[in-house]
Chains A and B, each alone.
Chain A
Amino acid sequence: MSTNTSPSDTAIGPDDDTDGVEAAVWATLDEIPDPHLPISLVELAMIYDVQIEAGHVDVEMTFPCMGCPAYDFIHDDIRGALRLVDGVDTVDIDVVWDPIWSKDLLDDEVRAKLHESGIGL
């Protein structure tokens, strides 16, 4: 799983001490592939934050572009995958545009994967 830091130093991704249901939620999100690219939503730094309270999960996320062709698919994938996590009853997805997604959020390992599949950055 990748842990990224935005240009404004806002932490993106799980904290080091994340455990329990929250860790399971992050691990599940890290298994959801982007429908267009050979990397996960977490690797693509689209998931900004996860909050859990009494079985309810709030996922704060963004999209690399506002007209994402897979906008609905990605919502469906997140809801579908998180419903199967023990301790999760309901899911809300909050799409935010601040901080703005940037390819600077991608770490070297992810860049290598994209490069290998013919995608330039």
Chain B
Amino acid sequence: MIESREEMTEGYEKALKQILTVSGDTELMSAPAYYEPSMNAPDLSTRTSCISVIQDELGHGHIAYRLLEDLGEDKQSLIYDRDPHEFRNTYGFDQKLENFAELVTAHALWDRAGIVLLSDIHENTSYGPWKRALTKVSKEEQFHLRHGETWVRRLANKSESTRQKVQRAVDWMFPIAIEWFGLPDDKKQHDEQLEYRIKGMTNDELRQEWMSTAVPLLEEVGLDCPAHYDADADEYVLEYDLPVAFDEQAKQWRYDDPISWSDVMDRWRSRGPAIEEYVDMLQSGTVNVGT
């Protein structure tokens, strides 16, 4: 187990900083993404739960940045001095979440992806300080997931109108989670984070882990998703050829428009439509009302 910077090789430190930055930025950027739809929660108690999720996410971001400070970075500067395109959060949190159905689908699908990624690190990482810090994070993320699952079930069963809203959310948010786990193993030449044992599972293993609970939830409540369990292969399989183009304005996947992983990386690097607004919200501490 690695405990301090002095014990790290240059390569280890670089790989660790990279994954901690992605983790911290993803936690941080979920806060502005979750903010507006949380204000539109259907009752006061639910709004309190949604706000608590945001508070937790900011705390998780703080933990990752605090760990980065041990590696010579400055938290203040990481949050306030970077331009929007310099943040490394997952692409999903570059998108605008426009209603409560999208918010709870994010809790149910995207927080689940966060749990899968962080549980692997919690269990397998060679970096002691991160492993210990994740005990609290993992427990809190379970609450977010439960909140998401509870509300996805409620909306799916309440009326045709709410079912359609949550289905529309799943339609664009499910494939974003699939992409989140990154390049398929057969296209990834080497994975430094895996080689340094900063994480323990490969991209495809993590994607399978996510699908093994996400797909049964959606099937249970009668929501469609482009994946199913294949008994012969004994694994979950996608019903489209990954990766495909995404129309981020219409929030629609173009399944008949195959692209390369290099195109995906370019799309990620260009950042999504809401990143500037979210970074401004965080850095200015203000919310633009009515825009």
Residues of A within 8 A of B (CB): 35-38, 67-73, 116-119
Contacts and interface: CB of A to CB of B under 8 A. Distances in A.
B136 A71 contact: no
Contacts of A70: 49, 52, 143
B133 interface: yes
Interface of B: 45-46, 48-49, 51-53, 132-133, 135-136, 139-140, 142-143, 146-147, 150
Contacts of B136: 117-119
Contacts of A68: 48
B146 A69 contact: no
Nearest to B53: A69
A71 B147 CA distance: 12
20 contacts: A35-B143, A35-B146, A38-B135, A67-B48, A68-B48, A69-B51, A69-B52, A70-B49, A70-B143, A71-B48, A73-B49, A73-B143, A73-B146, A73-B147, A116-B135, A117-B135, A117-B136, A118-B132, A118-B135, A119-B136
Given A35-B143, A71-B45, A117-B139, 15 more contacts: A37-B139, A69-B49, A69-B51, A69-B52, A69-B53, A70-B52, A72-B45, A72-B46, A73-B49, A73-B146, A73-B150, A117-B136, A118-B132, A118-B135, A119-B136
B108 to A, nearest CB: 15
A71 B45 CA distance: 7
A36 B143 contact: yes
A119 B137 CA distance: 11
Given A69-B51, A73-B146, A118-B133, A38 B139 contact: yes
A117 B122 CA distance: 12
Contacts of A117: 135-136, 139
B52 to A, nearest CB: 3
Q: For B53, B132, B139, B140, which residue has the most chain A Cβ atoms within 10 angstroms?
A: B139
B48 A69 contact: yes
Nearest to B44: A67
Contact of A36 (B45, B132, B139): B139
B282 to A, nearest CB: 22
Contacts of A37: 139
A68 B139 CA distance: 16
A58 to B, nearest CB: 22
Contacts of A71: 45, 48
Q: For A67, A69, A116, A119, which residue has the most chain B Cβ atoms within 10 angstroms?
A: A69
B284 to A, nearest CB: 26
Contacts of A73: 49, 143, 146-147, 150
